[in-house]
Structure 1
Amino acid sequence: MSGPGPGTDPTGPTGPGRPTGPERPVVEDAGDFAGVPDDTDRLWTPHRMAYIGGENKPVDPHDGDQCPFCTAPRRSDEDALIVHRGEVAYVVLNLYPYNSGHLLVCPYRHVADYTELDDAEVREVAELTRTAMRVIREVSGPAGFNLGMNQGPVAGAGIAAHLHQHVVPRWMGDANFLPIVGHTKAIPILLADTRRLYADAWP
Structure 2
Amino acid sequence: MFAAENGLRGDPRLQAISRAIRVVPDFPKPGIMFQDITTLLLDHKAFKDTVDIFVDRYRDMDISVVAGVEARGFMFGPAIALAIGAKFVPLRKPRKLPGEVISESYVLEYGTDCLEMHVGAVEPGERAIVIDDLVATGGTLSAAIKLLERVGAEVVECACVIGLPEVKDRRRIRGKPLYILVEPRLLDECR
Q: What's the TM-score once normalised by structure 2's chain length?
A: 0.27
Higher Rg of the two aligned structures: 1
Q: What's the TM-score once normalised by structure 1's chain length?
A: 0.26
More strand by share: 2
